[in-house]
Amino acid sequence: MATDAELAALGYKGPVVVTQIVRTTFRADGTPIGKTLTIQGGSTPLTWHQKPEDVPDDEALPTYRPAEAQAPKMPAPRSWRTYLVGMEGSVLTKIGHTTDTVKSRVAQLQTGQPANLRPLLEVDGDYEGTLHDRFVDYRVRGEWFDLTPLGDPVTVVVETLKELGADIRPDLQDADN
């Protein structure tokens, strides 16, 4: 407890309201990491009114009015790109999708692959699930397929995407893109 002299030395005049805030930080699994204690003080005098009619007009509390409902802020819609990636020295192709550039996605995938990967095709829109369903019998593992029994993998996927009404952009058939 601070004395009136100590409070005055800190610049407080009159009654002081002290608020204590305890914040606990948790790990993702729910276990506590630590606590912090914040003590806030102020010298604004408090007035207690027993009845609303006791409140003078200049101190009248504002009438509660619910704010107009605002639409929740949503992140900008992400533009999906479906792609086909080939693995050098293999018949396998990966059918995937990304909101990043296909070049960036291939660089991420390359980290875990000993063979060189190269983008073969990209198209605006999210057709990954549909293509996976269409070629389920040719799935080798995960998102990797052997489409060679159907012909050239790029041609097979392009024809399927055309059937689905996709706007095809087969300009990634060069490994430099």
pTM: 0.53
Of the listed ranges 60-69, 96-105, 161-170, the least confidently predicted one is 60-69
Domain boundaries, the chain: 4-45, 81-169
Q: What does the mean pLDDT of the chain come to?
A: 76
- The whole-number pLDDT of residue 166 equals 77
Contacts (Cβ under 8 Å, ≥6 apart) of 163: none
* Mean pLDDT across 104-128: 90
Beta strands in the chain (DSSP E): 17-26, 32-42, 81-87, 92-98, 117-124, 139-141, 144-146, 168-169
* pLDDT tens readout for residues 124-163: 889 999 999 999 999 999 999 999 999 999 999 999 988 8
For residue 100 the two structure tokens come to: 């990043």
* Mean pLDDT across 19-32: 66
